[in-house]
Amino acid sequence: MLTFAIILTLSQIIAAYLMFSHEARRNSQLEHHNDLLALRLKALKQETELLQEDLQAARVLRHDLRHHYRLLYALLGEGDYSAAIEHIGKQKEEILTRWKEKN
3-42 pLDDT per residue, tens: 878 887 888 988 888 888 989 999 999 999 999 999 999 9
- pLDDT for the residue 69: 94
- pLDDT more than 70, % of the chain: 100
Report which residue type is found at 36: L
- pLDDT for the residue 66: 94
**Domain extents in the chain:** 2-102
By three-state DSSP, how is residue 89 classified? Answer: helix
Report which residue type is found at 101: E
Distance CA(68)–CA(84), nearest Å, equals 10
Distance from the Cα of residue 98 to its chain's centroid: 24
DSSP codes of every residue in 23-74:
HHHHHHHHHHHHHHHHHHHHHHHHHHHHHHHHHHHHHHHHHHHHHHHHHHHH
**pTM greater than the 0.95 cutoff:** no
